Structure 1
Amino acid sequence: MEDLPIERRKTVTMPQADFEQMLERAAEKGARHALHGVGLDGEDAAHDIRELRNLLDAFNEAKKTAGLTIIKMVVTGLVMAILTGTLIKLKLFGGGQ
């Protein structure tokens, strides 16, 4: 068999503070790149994000209100149906047996 060359790993040593600064710069650059990718970069970015949050809150509130309204309408309809059936059975509307 042939002797395959052994791959040696190269390591870099640096002070902890320099390493943390490098990581912080990389994270900030990545975050700016991601915000730029979705169009939330520039001076108005914070304002745009607040507007998006407010819009999402309003949408969620509207969904909740719509759900509660539907439930109230169904319950009201059932109560009216029961009341109508009771009134018909009591011959108040001239129906029934």
Structure 2
Amino acid sequence: MNDQPIDGRLVSLSRAEIEDLLAAAAARGARQALKDIGLDNGEAREDIRELRSLLGALRLARRTAWQTTVRVLTTVFLAALLALAGIKLKLLG
């Protein structure tokens, strides 16, 4: 560290004062970060809740799309098997 005097005096802080200073700086930095991304107003909590809800809906839609795709492919495969079995048994022509 630099032990050079400031205005002719060394600055000396207790551990508690340093922790308070760090906590204040962290809080100020967090407020600035929220402000930088536009979440510094009173509606930020609701905005985050809505974003989480949208992400949940997107995940559900993606899962449903995969399930539907698998069901359609399974149905097509089974229908083809039945058609082939019908042809083989001369039920369909």
Range class of TM-score, shorter chain = 0.7 to 0.9
Q: Is the 8 A contact 2:86 2:92 kept in 1?
A: yes
Instruction: Report how many aligned residue pairs link the two structures.
Output: 86
Q: Does 1:38 align with 2:37?
A: yes
Report how far residue 81 of structure 1 moved: 0.7
User: So what's the TM-score if we normalise by structure 2?
Assistant: 0.84
The aligned residue for residue 56 of structure 2 is: 57
Amino acid at match of 1:49: I
The aligned residue for residue 85 of structure 1 is: 84
Give unmatched runs, 5+ long, in structure 1. Answer: 1-8
Separation (CA, whole Å) in 1 of partners of 2:85 and 2:22: 75
The aligned residue for residue 13 of structure 2 is: 14
The aligned residue for residue 6 of structure 1 is: none
Give unmatched runs, 5+ long, in structure 2. Answer: 4-10
Separation (CA, whole Å) in 2 of partners of 1:35 and 1:60: 26
User: So what's the TM-score if we normalise by structure 1?
Assistant: 0.81
Match of 1:39, SS state, is coil
Match of 2:91, SS state, is coil
